[in-house]
């Protein structure tokens, strides 16, 4: 039985607003729907109440959602009096769909205000600023243990670090052979780099950046593995190029996210501002803000698609935002930041899709609590390892 798309879409919006993962487009769409009919506003307010959510959750535990919906629709079709009461008919229909959405695990409502205390409190703390810097002469410096340093590279470039960033200032007469540095964030680390041209790069966990301390020649080329958000300084005569294997991104001045982890199947460029060109095996394609270029590592094929940039850049502003993400992918991202190991005890648990929004700098206890509260998985924390299995 096909569910009316409008009802399901409003249910999806409810889930997004409940988890804090709504986008600007979601907010605009909601406002239009609320303005269509005053009864829509009353319906929204009724179903978004904490008490309604908890009642739906209790119903979900007692009844198979698909069967419940079939019974609700059958009764609505038979009862003319109920059918004439459109707002209440819609309310029942939305509520039934919400039960289905929750029960099949395609999108989990987690109302943070409804959780008063964590079910489990493992000591999994958030990551922090830190990195290892490799100088041109091979010397390795643990920046996280040396919060304030000043150095001079062989070509005269000045290097200064503080608790969360490193700055390069090119000497007035930097000359000679190009000198390269490499900065690497480990698991549970992030750091920012300001290059000699003024470009600022925010490095996510498990990321390695190789770059010349002073750019020479016709372009500004760096190499990156992992994930970073770039604010590229404008220079029309010297394009900025990021390389990872056979993939390259070329820009003049813009802001975008570049993700190329070695254990992932795709290299992803998500554009926030400006314009970039992405190359895979020599084929160049331009993308504009709100677009994303996805290159399959195995085949080299590129796909350009429209996305909501917020989902791919939230980490930069201190948040984790997931929407319809498989739990396996969610935990992969979280483990890079929280420094924990995890094991799925069955594939069904790995493929469960959830939606949630979290503060990146909080401990992981509320996240584990959320997972257990879904009723979709069992979570055990043994010897610093999370074991996740589906509820059968």
pLDDT-derived band at 18 (thresholds 50, 70, 90) equals: low
Q: Domain-by-domain residue ranges, the chain? A: 5-114, 121-216, 318-390
pLDDT-derived band at 160 (thresholds 50, 70, 90) equals: very high
Distance CA 358, CA 314 (A): 10
pLDDT-derived band at 103 (thresholds 50, 70, 90) equals: very low
**With 0-12 CB in 10 A as exposed, 13-18 as middle and 19+ as buried, what is 183?**
buried
Using DSSP's 3-state secondary structure scheme, residue 320 falls into strand
Q: Which residues contact 23 (CB under 8 A, 6 or more apart)?
A: 16, 308, 310, 311
Q: State the maximum Cα–Cα separation within the chain, in Å, rounded to a whole number.
A: 87
CATH for 318-390, options being 3.50.40.10, 3.55.50.30, 3.40.50.720, 3.40.50.300: 3.55.50.30
**Per-residue model confidence as pLDDT tens digits over 274-319:** 999 999 988 899 999 999 999 999 999 999 999 999 999 999 999 9
Distance CA 13, CA 150 (A): 50
**Per-residue model confidence as pLDDT tens digits over 187-196:** 999 999 999 9
Q: Which residues contact 340 (CB under 8 A, 6 or more apart)?
A: 124, 334, 364, 384, 385, 386
pLDDT-derived band at 173 (thresholds 50, 70, 90) equals: low
Q: Other CB atoms closer than 10 Å to residue 62's CB: what's the count?
A: 7
pLDDT attached to residue 324: 82
Which of residues 347 and 324 earns the better pLDDT score?
Answer: 347
Which of residues 18 and 72 earns the better pLDDT score?
Answer: 18
pLDDT attached to residue 12: 65
| Section 379-392 average pLDDT | 87
**Per-residue model confidence as pLDDT tens digits over 35-76:** 777 777 776 776 666 555 555 555 545 545 445 445 545 554
Kind and range of the H or E run holding 241: strand 240-244
DSSP code for 316: G
pLDDT attached to residue 271: 97
Q: Residues 6, 8, 11, 16: is their CA dihedral positive or negative?
A: negative
Distance CA 214, CA 144 (A): 24
Provide the whole-model pTM: 0.75
Which of residues 171 and 304 earns the better pLDDT score?
Answer: 304
pLDDT-derived band at 132 (thresholds 50, 70, 90) equals: very high
pLDDT attached to residue 47: 64
**Per-residue model confidence as pLDDT tens digits over 236-256:** 899 999 999 999 999 988 999
| Section 166-184 average pLDDT | 83
**Per-residue model confidence as pLDDT tens digits over 200-237:** 999 999 999 999 999 988 999 999 999 999 999 999 89
pLDDT attached to residue 229: 98
Q: Which of 137-151, 166-180, 199-213, 281-295 has the lowest mean pLDDT?
A: 166-180
């Amino acid at each position: 039985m096909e569910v009316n798309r409008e009802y399901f879409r409003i249910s999806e919006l409810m889930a997004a607003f409940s988890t804090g993962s709504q986008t600007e487009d979601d907010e605009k769409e909601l406002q239009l729907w609320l303005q269509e009919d005053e009864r829509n506003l009353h319906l929204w307010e009724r179903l978004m109440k904490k008490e309604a959510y908890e009642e739906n959750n209790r119903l979900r535990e007692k009844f198979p959602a698909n069967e419940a919906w079939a019974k609700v629709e059958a009764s609505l079709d038979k009862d003319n009096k109920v059918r004439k009461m459109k707002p209440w008919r819609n309310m029942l229909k939305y509520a039934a769909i919400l039960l289905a959405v929750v029960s099949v695990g395609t999108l989990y409502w987690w109302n943070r205000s409804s959780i008063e205390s964590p079910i489990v409190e493992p000591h999994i703390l958030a990551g922090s600023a830190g990195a290892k810097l490799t100088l041109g002469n091979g010397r390795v410096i643990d920046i996280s243990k040396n919060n304030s340093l000043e150095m001079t590279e062989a070509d005269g470039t000045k290097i200064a670090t503080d608790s969360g960033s490193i700055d390069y200032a090119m000497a007035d007469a930097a000359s000679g052979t190009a000198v390269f540095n490499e900065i690497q964030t480990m698991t549970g680390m992030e750091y920012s780099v300001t290059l000699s041209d003024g470009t600022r790069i925010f490095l996510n966990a498990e990321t390695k950046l190789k770059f010349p301390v002073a750019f020479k020649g016709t372009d500004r080329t760096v190499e990156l593995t992992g994930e970073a958000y770039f604010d590229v300084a404008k220079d029309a005569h010297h394009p900025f190029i990021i390389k990872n294997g056979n993939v390259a991104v070329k820009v003049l001045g813009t802001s975008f996210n570049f993700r190329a982890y070695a254990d992932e199947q795709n290299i992803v460029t998500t554009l926030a501002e400006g314009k970039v060109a992405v190359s895979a095996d020599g084929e160049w394609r331009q993308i504009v803000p709100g677009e994303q270029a996805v290159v399959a590592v195995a085949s080299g094929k590129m796909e350009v698609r429209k996305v909501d940039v917020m989902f791919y850049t939230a980490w930069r502003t201190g948040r984790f935002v997931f929407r319809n993400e498989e739990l396996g992918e969610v935990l992969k991202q979280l483990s890079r930041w929280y420094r924990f190991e995890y094991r799925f005890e069955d594939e069904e648990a790995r493929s469960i899709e959830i939606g949630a929004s979290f503060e990146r700098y909080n401990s992981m206890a509320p996240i584990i609590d959320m997972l257990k509260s879904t009723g979709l998985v069992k979570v055990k924390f043994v010897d610093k390892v999370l074991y996740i299995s589906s509820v059968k």
